[in-house]
Chain A
Amino acid sequence: MDLFAVAWPYWHQFFFIIFAATAVGFGFGVLLSKNVVRMAFYLVLSLGSTAGLFFLAGAEFVGAMQLMIYVGGTLVLLIFGVMLTAQKDFINMDTHTQDWILATIVGGSLLMVLLFAAFGAEDWNTPQDLTDAKVEATKEATPLGLALTGIRVDTLGETDDAVQGGKAGYLMPFIIVSVHLLVVLIGAAYMARTKKLSHATDDKSSRAKLMLFKMEHEAELLEEETYVVTHRGQSALNPLDPQDDEN
């Protein structure tokens, strides 16, 4: 088999094929599975394999990011949400034909755009001798981190102020994204906050109102309750019953 022969001597290709196959395979798993939780699980594996591809390409920081943010963060919340909200009707999803058609059109056009862009890149068109290729890990994530805080270490040698100014780091986008996230967090906290009864009193069926009512009238209810002392029940054999003595 050609594929095997190609892959075998070169580790990176070999692992690339493994990771790519896993990512694509479980991607199809997401598409074809009907159980929502399984879909989410396949998505975990698919995105995890994508992280593997990043590691393979030497982009360790991005790979770890992928694991932490997509797999560890987003998908945990996704599964969490699915688990809590999905009822029987939604656990098993049937996709209608029109959904398939729509999804094919949208997904297909997106795929075309991606393929076009990918094969438009020059490196992809140029045949390369890969036998000597050796993937080296990038040095550190430090330059990236510094760039995020506005210091581009790769341009420190730049003497031209105009060029230097043009490569001013990514502080501004970073701040914008952070503020955006903060807004989202505050919004989420606002949505999920517990509401005191005073906001809910208009709701007639409010459980809180019922609770309040019960608590308000608890003392009265207890007082009104008469302690019914049931009579011991007269038995013909009761030795203490005066009627029994006659027997």
Chain B
Amino acid sequence: MADFVNHILTLEDSWIGYIVAALVAAVLILHVVAVGALLFIWMERKISGRIQDRLGPTRVGGKFGWLQTLADGIKLIAKEDVTPDLADKFLFKIAPYVGLAASYAAFIALPFADGVVGQHVNTAVFFVLAVLGLEVFSVILAGYSSGSKWSLFGAMREAAQVVSYEVPLGMCVVVPVMICGTMNLTTIANMQAGFFTNWLVFNDPFTFLTAIVYFTCATAGVNRAPFDLAEAESELVAGFHTEYSGLRWSLFFMAEYSSMFIVAALASILFFGGSHGPIPIADVLGLLSLDNLGSSDPAFHVFNEDGGGFFASLNLEIAIARFLGVANLLLKGTIGVTVMMWVRWSFPRLRIDQVMTMCLKYCVPLAAVGFLGATAWQALDLPTGNSLMNSPRYSHHELWTADDSESTVEEASSNEVQTPHEDDTHAAAKAVELKTVPVSVVKGGER
């Protein structure tokens, strides 16, 4: 995107392009975090209201009370920012920012559609999980520094819970990574393009199992009911944020809701086709074909290289397809968040030992079974969702055979504005194959 900005500003490889690109990406992601939190809190109140046979907010902002969260936010900003006497003041003040920064940073590598991503990270799956795991620091620091025993209890629970649930979560995430042979979220999503039978959740029974285990562990990982032990109000008053007030308190909530969205979006990318809908509308309408998938640059394909101005170079078809993709992913993520809300308002809370039992006795073994089963399914070449429906799967092509890696080195040293996935050397490899399994490719490499 930086190159594109430089291109339309007719600058040559200038740092201005980088700044503009970074600012645009940062502001867009910030909007997903902030506006998303506003929307999700409003949704939570409406959904809980409907579940509990009441209306929820109705007045602020006209119909449906859709500005209720904004009004609450203004109220929270106006509130006094209290720091307890016994608190470790520095850590107490900085803790909410740590949490928000962590969940905000995880958005950097989240592809909203093919190519619509803050920063193209090859190991995006890993990156998102790692950064999201940092959110636990805010809870631990908040709990410790509050100088309250209830907060400390909340922090202890959170630490134990999050560290435990990262194990099955990681194991579940490995399954799509293994099937797709990449940690690149964009590629994983693109491999599920086409009809919904291509979605990894329908790949085989074990991926279905893994998707369910993933969602359970993700719910636990972001501290949502019935695993919301760190803020169990009936036991720990309010857990780690007992002593917080005003804006700092609301930062915790922003972090929580954006983390919810991240894990839901990650679930939709890993298992539910990401930015690709159940029916490939964009493909049918001719807006998008499998051939122009796989860019790491948001501007790539959307703007022609040789165009003059902004609109002249705009490739409208692909722009619309990308837009549909973003809408698709946001919708899927929102559905995931809604399910979490639904669960929250239906179930009682588990006890800490039950949460741990659930993790170690059920989730870890189930994730292991899912992983082994999915591996065996691939290795034995059993029929998968897409092969049964005979719908081909977009196959990415990585450069890990000896010949290819040489060409990559050359390409990397050249100054072309191209990303690894679009170069011509791989056009042939981009031909649609039925299935891409790492093992088979390795065999192919031996020739």
The answer to whether B91 touches A37 (Cβ under 8 A) is yes
Whole-angstrom distance from the CB of B130 to the nearest CB of chain A?
4
Closest partner residue, chain A, to B411 (CB atom): A136
Task: Check A146/B405 contact, CB under 8 A, given A38-B90, A139-B420.
Answer: no
Closest partner residue, chain A, to B396 (CB atom): A140
Hey, which chain B residues are within 8 Å of A132, CB to CB? 415
The answer to whether A41 touches B141 (Cβ under 8 A) is yes
Whole-angstrom distance from the CB of A42 to the nearest CB of chain B?
11
Hey, which chain A residues are within 8 Å of B126, CB to CB? 61, 64-65, 68, 141
Partner pick for A141 among B134, B183, B438, B442, CB 8 A cutoff: B183
Judge if A28 is at the interface, Cβ distance under 8 Å.
Answer: no
Judge if B424 is at the interface, Cβ distance under 8 Å.
Answer: no
Hey, which chain B residues are within 8 Å of A44, CB to CB? 137
B28-36, B155-163, B323-331 - interface stretch: B155-163
Determine the distance from Cα of A11 to Cα of B160 in the docked complex, in whole angstroms: 39
Closest partner residue, chain B, to A63 (CB atom): B127
Task: Check A76/B420 contact, CB under 8 A, given A84-B156, A140-B182.
Answer: no
Task: Check A83/B123 contact, CB under 8 A, given A140-B182, A146-B400.
Answer: no
**A-facing mask of B139-160, CB < 8 A → 1, else 0?**
0110011000000100110011
A16-24, A96-104, A107-115, A148-156 - interface stretch: A148-156
Judge if A193 is at the interface, Cβ distance under 8 Å.
Answer: no
Whole-angstrom distance from the CB of A64 to the nearest CB of chain B?
4
Whole-angstrom distance from the CB of B44 to the nearest CB of chain A?
27
Determine the distance from Cα of A235 to Cα of B88 in the docked complex, in whole angstroms: 59
Determine the distance from Cα of A101 to Cα of B136 in the docked complex, in whole angstroms: 36
The answer to whether B402 touches A72 (Cβ under 8 A) is no
Question: Considering the complex, which residues of chain B in the window 118-134 have a beta carbon less than 8 Å from any beta carbon of chain A?
Answer: 120-123, 126-127, 129-131, 133-134
Judge if A35 is at the interface, Cβ distance under 8 Å.
Answer: yes
Judge if A172 is at the interface, Cβ distance under 8 Å.
Answer: no
Partner pick for A134 among B91, B133, B183, B415, CB 8 A cutoff: B415
Hey, which chain B residues are within 8 Å of A84, CB to CB? 156
Partner pick for A153 among B15, B141, B400, B420, CB 8 A cutoff: B400
The answer to whether A138 touches B445 (Cβ under 8 A) is no
Question: Considering the complex, which residues of chain B in the window 380-425 have a beta carbon less than 8 Å from any beta carbon of chain A?
Answer: 398-403, 405, 408, 412, 415, 420
Partner pick for A137 among B122, B398, B400, CB 8 A cutoff: B122
Hey, which chain B residues are within 8 Å of A61, CB to CB? 122-123, 126, 183
Partner pick for B15 among A9, A67, A72, CB 8 A cutoff: A9
Judge if B256 is at the interface, Cβ distance under 8 Å.
Answer: no
Question: Considering the complex, which residues of chain A in the window 114-168 have a beta carbon less than 8 Å from any beta carbon of chain B?
Answer: 132, 134, 136-143, 146, 151, 153-158
The answer to whether B91 touches A72 (Cβ under 8 A) is no
Determine the distance from Cα of A157 to Cα of B166 in the docked complex, in whole angstroms: 38
Determine the distance from Cα of A140 to Cα of B125 in the docked complex, in whole angstroms: 12
Judge if A90 is at the interface, Cβ distance under 8 Å.
Answer: no
The answer to whether B402 touches A155 (Cβ under 8 A) is yes
The answer to whether A139 touches B133 (Cβ under 8 A) is no
The answer to whether B163 touches A153 (Cβ under 8 A) is no
Determine the distance from Cα of A9 to Cα of B18 in the docked complex, in whole angstroms: 11
The answer to whether B140 touches A64 (Cβ under 8 A) is no
Judge if A77 is at the interface, Cβ distance under 8 Å.
Answer: yes
The answer to whether A38 touches B182 (Cβ under 8 A) is no
Judge if B176 is at the interface, Cβ distance under 8 Å.
Answer: no
Whole-angstrom distance from the CB of A28 to the nearest CB of chain B?
16
Closest partner residue, chain B, to A135 (CB atom): B412
Task: Check A157/B398 contact, CB under 8 A, given A76-B159, A134-B415.
Answer: no
Determine the distance from Cα of A38 to Cα of B141 in the docked complex, in whole angstroms: 9
Determine the distance from Cα of A194 to Cα of B139 in the docked complex, in whole angstroms: 27
A-B contact pairs, 22 of them (CB 8 A): A61-B123, A63-B127, A67-B130, A67-B133, A71-B130, A71-B134, A72-B133, A72-B136, A79-B137, A80-B159, A80-B160, A83-B140, A83-B156, A136-B412, A139-B400, A140-B122, A142-B400, A143-B400, A146-B438, A153-B445, A156-B402, A156-B442
A-B pairs, top 5 by smallest CB distance, nearest first, are: A157-B402, A72-B133, A68-B130, A67-B130, A64-B126
Residues of A within 8 A of B (CB): 8-9, 11, 35, 37-38, 41, 44, 48, 60-61, 63-65, 67-68, 71-73, 75-77, 79-80, 83-84, 132, 134, 136-143, 146, 151, 153-158
Known A37-B145, A153-B401; further 20 A-B contacts with Cβ < 8 A? A9-B15, A35-B88, A37-B88, A41-B91, A63-B127, A64-B127, A68-B130, A71-B133, A76-B137, A79-B137, A80-B156, A136-B412, A139-B122, A142-B183, A146-B400, A154-B400, A154-B405, A155-B402, A156-B446, A157-B401
